[in-house]
Amino acid sequence: MKILLTPFRLLPALAGLILLFSGCTTEPEPTAPANGGEGYRPVYLSYEELRNVTTEGPRSLKHPGKIYVRGTFLFINEPGEGIHIIDNHDPAKPRPMAFVNIRGNVDMAVKGDVLYADNATDLVALDITNPLRVQLLNRVENVFPYPSYPPQTGVRFECVDKTRGVVVGWEKTTLPDARCRR
């Protein structure tokens, strides 16, 4: 008995061949250089240092972030560093009053005399009744996710080791053996 190859019988075989060859590439997969290459290394801060929220003298604004207005005061975030407190009684001449050192800070909100801010992985509540002497009222630890990778994508980086502290930034450097990628 003779089997005829009709177009309908060839269709599945043809589709299989197309799928098989469409997965082939002519370019090799990029690999990490054998002796290292450029990537990102986490910058750690000990939990003890991180959780030391202090009020200091005023600093100049370098990379201002979010702004919150309460009465005649401006609260201006310096991402990753803390919050500037500015006396804005005279908007033509705002006066820097203090800087609240809150490492890993990105966001803030104010309700009444309490300023709520993230302190890397923690949430802190601060009494701002006296803007020159901000006091820590409460801390809730590990509310926010741990930063496990740099904000950039398509990069190599040194894997995070949580036992070394909390990641407060990333530095671009030459890495001999970066096992993590994003």
Please give the full DSSP string across 83-109, using - where no structure is assigned.
Answer: EEEEE-SSTTS-EEEEEEE-TT---EE
Query: Which is nearest to 117 in space by CA: 53, 42, 46?
Result: 53
* pTM tops 0.85, yes or no: no
Instruction: Give the chain's radius of gyration (CA, Å).
Output: 27
Question: In the prediction, which pLDDT does 19 show?
Answer: 55
pLDDT at 27: 47
pLDDT at 10: 56
> Domain map of the chain by residue range?
52-140
Q: Which helix (H) or strand (E) holds 12?
A: helix 7-22
Strand spans (E) along the chain: 37-45, 54-56, 67-70, 73-78, 82-87, 95-101, 108-111, 114-119, 122-127, 135-140, 156-157, 166-175, 180-181
pLDDT at position 32: 47
For the CA atoms of 50, 104, 55, 93, what is the dihedral angle to 10 degrees?
170
Q: Angle CA(54)–CA(59)–CA(65) in degrees, nearest 5?
A: 90
- The CATH code for residues 52-140 is 2.40.10
Task: Give the pLDDT score at 29.
Answer: 46
Other beta carbons within 10 Å of 62: 8
Residues 6 or more apart whose CB falls under 8 angstroms from that of 43 comprise 167, 168, 169, 170, 171
**Per-residue pLDDT tens digits of the chain, which is 182 residues long:** 555 556 556 556 655 655 555 654 544 445 545 546 899 999 999 999 999 999 999 999 999 999 999 999 999 999 999 999 999 999 999 999 999 999 999 999 999 999 999 999 999 999 999 988 999 999 999 999 888 889 889 999 999 999 999 998 899 999 888 889 88
On whether the CB atoms of residues 67 and 108 are closer than 8 A, the answer is no
